[in-house]
Chain A
């Protein structure tokens, strides 16, 4: 079969390729121009929490330690008013087979691929998910191809992504390393078409449901040991799957009041498709370059309808600075004896600041850690940054300009909470939905769908739509 493999031709076949590679007919869930049946999409995974945990236990995923960070809590209390300083716990997801919570996502995706009879899996990711998929593929006897964005036009690889390449190769996967650019999607589609493998997407319903066990375990263990659910769980937010899955799991365990808080590294000012900016950042995931776009338009993912829909679940959203996260990575290692990768400490950083504002009887859980090693380490990243002309120094982290400097806080009490206005993000999501499909009128069904999408009131959504010039037909 000799098909036109050019960019335009392959992109034109996108829907056909995706349908064959996903095992889900997304069209079935569409309800109108705007709305789709999210609940059914998730229910149709047809797995209970017991099933998910059983599948995961089969492959040694999950049941990770919940560690109380007594020294970091004591440190936070030194800078808190009396009666304040919540207990900080961390869920040591680095204990999973490939070293991150992504194993939970991959375990279900690859399980699904095997169940449906695919011979291999493909994933487009420059992050830990690639290694997770490779690990699960190895366990289940499937082939694996990872497509990643690793180099700039001068052939310089981001150290963290070079380590991902190594890790995936170590687990037996084929790794296609590209230079910067969204056209990675074209390569990804071409590989799917050529191989007929399964798209183990980060954004599939099975992938997101795989993360639910993480939220469920946290709720269950805290309730069992301390007699209550945690007051808050902090989740690093990029594409939204981490937050969505964790929130859903918490709710399923009965933790209805637990606040679900998203945290991202602030990389505003850097362009994610820039050949120049690419190697000027020290975090390749868990940052605003993904966090904001995916919150305000989840369906930009590689599947027609993303199962990761963060604004449905996020109670609060905070930003932290690169320097602050490197600082907390050192603190975790030197005060708690846990050497973990910096990207996995994004929410820990916000937790440290947040604990100081909460009661000392409150429980705050940082929902993940990731493995560390060559490339995935403060030494590797700060060295790389310095070599590229990014200044590294102690100072006021508020003055950090991504790509120009990395400012380490002088004292732990300087680590601050920087809230993001969720209402503004909700407005952006509504605006993007209207613009994407050129919506001129909405029905009541659409309105109720949008109320769920942004978790806002009827009046809020109706007003925003009217401001966007959309006719609300009831």
Chain B
């Protein structure tokens, strides 16, 4: 599905291939590439996965692989409930209440 010109997108690119990485790294990092993610306005219409150019907010033209259309922020306050945090405040207040009486 074609994504139109001037759409706000996120691109991906490989900055350094594994074999190009610097010497002093742990094994697990050495075997993976150094990757980049960057957002900008799409210069020409394209599809996800295409090699494209974007214009960033500072006006730089950067090339990469089209990763996401209209990216949103997905980080929040966590998807897993943490019951432990509930008890801390309650316990501390109880400790101080003894004095406030």
Contacts and interface: CB of A to CB of B under 8 A. Distances in A.
Which 6 A/B pairs are nearest by Cβ-Cβ distance?
A: A383-B78, A334-B89, A153-B32, A162-B75, A383-B80, A330-B88
Interface string B54-80: 001111100000000000011111111
25 contacts: A7-B20, A75-B92, A75-B95, A162-B73, A162-B75, A163-B75, A174-B38, A176-B38, A180-B29, A181-B21, A181-B22, A182-B24, A195-B58, A274-B26, A274-B28, A274-B29, A327-B88, A331-B92, A375-B75, A377-B78, A378-B85, A380-B75, A387-B79, A392-B84, A408-B88
Contacts of B28: 274-276
Interface of B: 15-16, 20-22, 24-26, 28-29, 32-40, 56-60, 73-82, 84-85, 88-89, 92-93, 95-96, 99
B32 A173 contact: no
Contacts of B37: 150-151, 176-178
A174 B60 contact: yes
Nearest to B57: A174
Looking at chain A, what size class is its interface with the partner chain?
35 or more
Interface in A133-185: 143-145, 150-151, 153, 157, 159, 162-163, 166, 169, 172-183
Contact of B73 (A176, A183, A274, A374): A374
A412 interface: yes
A386 B82 contact: yes
A2 B33 CA distance: 25
A471 interface: no
B44 to A, nearest CB: 20
B93 A175 contact: no
Contacts of A275: 26, 28-29, 32
A394 interface: yes
Contacts, number: 155
A169 B75 contact: no
A120 interface: yes
Contacts of A408: 84, 88
A290 interface: no
A53 to B, nearest CB: 31
Contact of B34 (A143, A178, A194, A381): A178
B78 A379 contact: yes
Contact of B95 (A78, A175, A181, A387): A78
A392 B58 contact: no
A98 B13 CA distance: 30
A460 interface: no
Contacts of A377: 77-78
Interface string A80-108: 00000000000000000000000000000
Contacts of B29: 180-181, 273-275
A413 B63 CA distance: 55
B34 A181 contact: yes
A166 to B, nearest CB: 5
A144 B82 CA distance: 37
A78 B96 CA distance: 9
Given A174-B60, A179-B35, A183-B21, A335 B92 contact: yes
A393 interface: yes
A335 B60 contact: no
Interface string A55-76: 0000000000000000100110
A384 interface: yes
Contacts of B99: 74, 78
